[in-house]
Each structure stands twice: as structure tokens, then as C-alpha cells.
């Protein structure tokens, strides 16, 4: 993952002043880095019986779709309100500067599913915790949580369920 880490760009003052954003788009556009991400994700979950990968809007769609393809699993998008065409369930959550809401199709997950929840970066964990609550309400057999990058200094893992395996490919 050293090469992938080298490809990640730091963007100062995004999305707000004082934040240094870890931009994965520079790794996604590099074929070698993208392949390494796919290989790393596959290694974490092969043989675990995963049937669905849930990707969180929007960069979580990239790694999530790659992982689903590699595992022969289905892909489920979690989106902002009003973006999914069929019946949805939603979860609101607090952010640093207000609240946000995410949605998933009501019929996206069954009780027989083993699910990986995937997003690109773990910061404070608010978005992932909301996604976890949505998917958990559908009673799948098992849930895993995954990120490409974990910003450990922000302590996001402390805000996620203690009884769920949480993995990442890169830590800062």
C-alpha cells in the first residue's frame, strides 16, 4: 500500500479552512494504485462469504464496486436523499456543521446477506455509523466495515460498533 499512499494527494483547506483533505482521486486515476486497492480489498474479504458490498456516496462507490466484482457479490449504493428511485429507508446523523441524511433501498439487503460496508475515508465515523444503522435494521447475517484510508488521529473507530470488524488499507 506504500505506492497507493504515495499517490494520495493532500488538499489544504478542503472542505473547510484548517482541514487537510486526503484526496484518493489521484490514486484512482493511477492504474497501478487502483489495482493495488482492489487487490488489498479482495485480500481482506475473500473467503468470508460476502454476498453484498454497500458503498457510500460517492467515492465509496469506486472501491465498493471493485470489491463486489472481485468477490462475486452484489453492490448496493447508499445515497443522499432523493437519488434512489424505489422505496427507501433513511438515517440522519450529526456532522461538524449540521446534519445530513443517507438512504438505501428498503429491499437492498436480506437476512441471508453477509455485508461489507465500504467508504473511502474514515474521519469521525458519522456517515459510516448512519450507514451501519440502516443496514443493521435489515438484519443481515453479518456486517463488516471497511475504508481505504483511516485518519487515526480523528478517532473515528471509537464511534463505530465495537463488535464489528473494522479494517482499512492505509492509516494516517
| Residue 135 covered by a domain | yes
Q: Which of 26-35, 59-68, 93-102, 157-166 has the lowest mean pLDDT?
A: 93-102
pLDDT at position 98 is: 78
Query: Is the pLDDT at 25 greater than 80, yes or no?
Result: yes
Give the span between the Cα atoms of 70 and 137, in whole angstroms.
26
Catalytic residues: 59, 96
Tens of pLDDT, residues 57-87: 999 999 999 999 999 999 999 999 999 999 9
Q: Look up the CATH number of the domain holding residue 125.
A: 3.40.50.2020
- Residue 16 is predicted with a pLDDT of 86
In a domain, 139, yes or no: yes
Structural domain containing residue 123: 49-171
- φ and ψ at 79, to 5 degrees? -130, 170
Are 83 and 56 contacting, i.e. CB atoms less than 8 angstroms apart? no
Q: Has residue 114 been placed in a domain?
A: yes
Percent with pLDDT over 90 in the chain: 95
Q: What pLDDT score was predicted for residue 95?
A: 78
| pLDDT over 80 (residue 97) | no
Q: How many domains does the chain have?
A: 1
Rounded to an integer, what distance in angstroms lies between the CA atom of residue 157 and that of residue 125?
A: 7
On the CB side of 146, how many CA atoms lie within 13 Å of its CA? Answer: 30
**How does DSSP assign 5-70, residue by residue?**
HHHPEEEET-SSTT-EEEETHHHHTSHHHHHHHHHHHHHHHTTS---EEEEETTTHHHHHHHHHHH
Q: Is 122 among the domain residues?
A: yes
127 part of a folded domain: yes
CA angle centred on 22, ends 167 and 151, rounded to 5°: 40
Cell numbers given for 166: 473494522
Average pLDDT over residues 98-103: 93
Per-residue 3-state assignment (H helix, E strand, C coil) for 78-118: EECCCCCCCCEEEEEEEECCEEEEEEEECCCCCCCCEEEEE
Query: Regarding beta strands 142-150 and 166-171, do their DSSP bridges make them parallel or antiparallel, or are they unpaired?
Result: parallel
DSSP bridge partners of 138: none
Please indicate, yes or no, if residue 28 is contained in any of the structural domains: no
DSSP H or E run through 167: strand 166-171
Quick check: is 132 in a domain?
yes
First to last CA, the chain: 12
Amino acid at each position: 500500500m506504500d505506492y497507493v499512499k504515495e499517490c494520495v494527494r493532500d488538499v489544504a483547506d478542503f472542505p473547510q479552512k484548517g482541514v487537510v483533505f486526503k484526496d484518493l482521486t489521484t490514486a484512482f486515476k493511477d492504474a497501478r494504485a487502483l489495482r493495488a486497492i482492489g487487490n488489498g480489498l479482495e485480500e481482506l474479504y475473500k473467503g468470508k462469504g460476502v454476498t453484498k458490498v454497500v458503498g457510500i456516496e460517492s467515492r465509496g462507490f469506486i472501491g465498493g464496486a471493485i470489491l463486489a466484482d472481485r468477490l462475486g457479490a452484489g453492490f448496493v449504493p447508499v445515497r443522499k436523499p432523493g437519488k434512489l428511485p424505489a422505496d427507501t429507508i433513511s438515517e440522519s446523523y450529526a456532522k461538524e456543521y449540521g446534519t445530513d441524511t443517507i438512504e438505501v433501498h428498503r429491499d437492498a439487503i436480506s437476512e441471508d446477506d453477509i455485508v461489507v460496508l465500504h467508504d473511502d475515508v474514515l474521519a469521525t465515523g458519522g456517515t459510516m455509523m448512519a450507514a451501519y444503522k440502516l443496514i443493521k435494521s435489515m438484519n443481515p447475517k453479518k456486517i463488516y466495515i471497511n475504508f481505504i484510508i483511516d485518519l487515526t488521529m480523528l478517532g473515528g473507530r471509537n464511534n463505530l460498533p465495537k463488535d464489528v470488524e473494522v479494517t482499512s488499507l492505509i492509516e494516517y
